[in-house]
Each structure stands twice: as structure tokens, then as C-alpha cells.
Amino acid sequence: MVKNTNGVRSLSLYASTAPENCPGENPEPAVWTFLIVVPPGLISGIPFPLVCGIHFAMPQPMSPPTDSPSDPPSIAELERLAAEHPGDASALVRLANAYWLDGRGSDVVGELAVRARTLDPSHRGAWHLWALAEPNPRDRVARWRQVTEHFPSDDLARAALADNAASLAGAEHDYEALDLAIATYEQLLQTAQLPEQRSALEQAVTTLKKWRF
């Protein structure tokens, strides 16, 4: 299933193990939400999607599907599990993730993410959804920055920060946001392993450095 909300295209699929280059926090079967970050406005000169193919992922562990690997739990089932386990941060994150992919809106997703983050401040998925759900571009950049500070090794959060900063820079002619985007992409480039990762990041950095407002 593919959705596009707040400039982020999300693809949800069931995987029995984490993808090879996507470090996970739970070895059990999980729904992995691949985030392909695309600036919400058409920014001249940047290829779309800007970071397509970087292959970062956000794990959202959940119970294995009852029927088949292509049939994850329904929203109704996730709502039931969250109601039965109100103190379980992962149950709230799984529900919030399902709502996000279903296009339920920022308010309900953000509320669930805040609750999950309060229950478990170390839950990376809760932080990601909290940042994703922020509708204001400048505030969303600030949230992703907080996520990268809380999880310094989180490359997905860093990629989202860079993309959202680039989008903000283009929309508001903000050189500070542009500098942040370039610096963050350059940080990702330092650790990128795959050729397609490096190519996409190098192209992004080269393009952004040519921007003049």
C-alpha cells in the first residue's frame, strides 16, 4: 500500500526478517515501513524522488498475519489490541502507523505517537511518527532534528531531516534550512555503503549547492 502524506510516500509490506541493509530493533516478523521522502512542493532542479533508493527503513513490529504474509492485521484488529493494552507503546505505534498509511490524518496519528513516546521514550517508531505527523513544514524540520539528536545513528531520521529542510528552503527561500539540508546529506554520504545511496546523495548535495534565491 502506498500513501502520500506531508511530503512522504510510504510503502508498507510484510517481511519475515529485516532487509539486509536496514538495521532493525526486533528480529521477529515485522511490518517494515519504507519511507521514500519527497518534498511536498515542486522544487526546481531537484530530481524526484530526491532520496529514492536509499533504502532506509523504520521497523514496526507486530504480530504475524493470521492468513498470509501479504495480509497484515486490520486496523480494527490493531484498534482492539491498543484498547486491550493501553500501556503498550508498541501497540499504539502499530495503530498509529496503520492510521498513517490509511490517510487518517495528522491529528490522530500525532496523538497516538505522543502517547507512545510518553510510555516509552526509547521507542524509535513513536518518535518517527511524531515527526511525520507534524503538518507545519518548519515545525516538522524541528521535530526531525530532535529525532536525530535523540537517535544519533538513525539514518532514516537524518534523511527525513535533510529532505524536509530542503523542501522548507525551497518553499521559503531559507538559506539556514538549505545549509542544514546540505550538511545533513553530507553526513549521510559519509556512511552510505550502496552505490545507489551514494549516487542519490551526491546528486542531492550537488544540486542544493547550486541553489540561489
Taking the chain (213 residues) in consecutive chunks of 10 residues, what is each chunk's mean pLDDT?
A: 38 30 35 36 34 36 44 90 95 93 92 97 94 95 96 91 93 96 94 86 91 91
Omega prior to 65 cis, within 30 of 0:
no
Q: Specify the pLDDT at position 33.
A: 36
Here the CATH number for the domain that contains residue 196 is 1.25.40.10
- DSSP three-state, residue 1: coil
Which residues does 158 contact at the CB level (< 8 Å), separation at least 6? 148, 184, 187, 188
Q: Specify the pLDDT at position 85.
A: 96
Quote the distance between the C-alpha of residue 93 and its chain's center. 13
- Torsions phi, psi of 153, nearest 5? -100, 10
User: What's at 121, amino acid-wise?
Assistant: P
Q: Specify the pLDDT at position 193.
A: 86
Which residues does 142 contact at the CB level (< 8 Å), separation at least 6? none
DSSP structure class, residue 65: P
- Between vectors from CA 49 to CA 46 and to CA 51, what angle results, nearest 5°? 90
Q: Specify the pLDDT at position 167.
A: 92
Domain that holds residue 103: 2-209
CB 162 within 8 A of CB 186: no
Q: Specify the pLDDT at position 195.
A: 86
CB 203 within 8 A of CB 189: no
Q: Specify the pLDDT at position 70.
A: 56
Looking at the structure of the chain, the number of domains it has is 1
